[in-house]
Amino acid sequence: MSADVTHLDELDRIPVGEDGLVWRPVRRKLGIESLGVNAWTAEEPGQEVVEHHDETGSGAGKHEELYIVIRGRARFQLDDEEFDAPVGTCVFVRDRTVRRGAFAEEPGTTVLAMGGKPGEAFEVSPWESYFAAIPLSAAGNHEGAAALIREALERSPDNPSVLYNLACAECLAGDTEAALEHLTRAVELNPKTAEWAREDTDFDAIRDEPRFVATVGGPA
């Protein structure tokens, strides 16, 4: 066959965040290298089906984005604007500073998201590496999770979100020296990561280490 073919229901289902959001990695499954494309599902009404974010953060791809509701019904929020989005609705967000997100209005609501930078060759968004590492960490394979995130670090060596999530995986894997090194660099690049680390149980093994305390500023 001259095309790679899959079905939405054959894609991995990776829970992310705390509001019911499930990532369906289309791009990774099909090996797409020209654009970012993923599906997102919420099993129950009221759960998040598009993560609330803008495209300016260190984990973002800095993309303009197109969202298409392919199952169910969503309620989109763009900054202060809110609107209903039944199946078939297309939502194009050109301005990367706009905070966007959506909640499911029906069970199994699924949104297809595509993005890229105008006029630039596509680069994989940094967040994909640490989202893809979630199943490995959940299965206790923290070394495998760290190895996967290191691949993203090679592409984005000074990305604080990648460095932070790599430090989490390394700490859980028992590589505390590497974890401290990468966490320190993450904090240098984005001081907000120190706040995350102070409450992140991934760092419990090194929480009393003097270097950890000096890096994140002590307990929250």
Q: Within a domain: residue 121?
A: no
pTM for the model: 0.86
CATH number, position 165? 1.25.40.10
Per-residue pLDDT at 218: 61
Handedness of CA 159, 58, 114, 53 (dihedral sign): positive
Per-residue pLDDT at 2: 79
Q: Is 101 in the same domain as 177?
A: no
d(Cα 128, Cα 170) in Å, to the nearest integer?
18
Q: Is 101 helix (H, G, I), strand (E, B) or coil?
A: strand
Q: Within a domain: residue 1?
A: no
Per-residue pLDDT at 220: 44
Q: Is 156 in the same domain as 82?
A: no
Mean pLDDT per 10-residue section of the chain, whose length is 220 residues: 89 90 95 93 96 84 92 98 98 96 97 93 89 96 97 92 97 97 96 95 94 81
Whose tokens are 């760092």? That residue is 203
